[in-house]
Homo-oligomer: A and B are copies of this chain.
Amino acid sequence: MARTGSRSRPRPVRGSDTALLIIDVINDLEFPGGERVLPWALRMVERLGPFARRMRGAGVPVIYVNDNFNHWRSNFRDVYRHCTRAGSRGRVVARALRPQAQDYFILKPKHSAFFATSLVPLLEHLGTKRLLMAGIATNLCVFFSAHDAHMHEYDITVLSDCCCAESDMDHDLALDQLQRFLGVRVCRADEVRSERGPKRGARVPATPRT
């Protein structure tokens, strides 16, 4: 009942029409194969951490979409605490990529960031048209979220060095499929240009330089 009365069409609340989606990085990695993901995740952190900072600086909204770990209680903080508990395999990764105050977070019950979540209304609220996608695992939750983003007709870039999987092969295969079958753009984080737009502040074209 909080918001009654007439509501107009969503208006971008930020200067950027791009958003950075970070998927399932707050993760205890306590699943079969998680031990194989860990070294790749640690390398991912080195790229994704600085990239997310750059995006925040450029006014690009950063949206964490994260497994609810069967909590079903809409408390991201509990999920964060769970994944950074002493002994959690994913503790270092989750702490290094801890969301900042201005970031958004959404808990998802299944693989795709779009399934049974409020991601679409949030993206409409933000005026997002272009998605930069990162996270764990390239061939599962990132892959399936990219697919749903495609059906929703967003312009999609998957950041090859800000995603990881159990193996190089699974990672490469998934990126190859996204490119070949869905026409998704795949590039490294340092290929995403930020430039200051003339009017609305920061603007980040999601196109690789080359």
Contact = CB atoms under 8 A, between A and B. Distances in A.
Interface in A144-167: 144, 147-148, 150-151, 153-155
Interface in A29-63: 31-33, 37
Contacts of A105: 73-75
Given A4-B31, A31-B2, A151-B115, A72 B37 contact: no
Contacts of A4: 31-33, 140, 181-183
A63 B144 CA distance: 24
Interface in A92-146: 104-112, 115-122, 124-125, 129, 136-137, 139-141, 144
Could you say how many copies of this chain the assembly holds? 4
Interface string A1-40: 1111111111000000000000010011001110001000
A141 B145 CA distance: 15
A9 B153 contact: yes
* The 10 nearest A-B residue pairs measured at CB: A6-B183, A2-B67, A110-B151, A116-B118, A109-B121, A1-B137, A109-B118, A74-B76, A74-B107, A1-B24
Interface residues on A, range: 35 or more
Given A3-B31, A5-B32, A181-B4, A151 B75 contact: no
Given A104-B72, A129-B9, A177-B139, A117 B115 contact: no
Nearest to A177: B139
A184 B5 CA distance: 9
Contacts of A3: 31, 67, 70
21 contacts: A1-B136, A2-B27, A2-B28, A2-B31, A3-B31, A4-B32, A4-B140, A4-B183, A6-B183, A8-B155, A72-B122, A74-B105, A74-B107, A75-B76, A75-B77, A75-B105, A108-B118, A115-B148, A116-B121, A124-B153, A139-B177
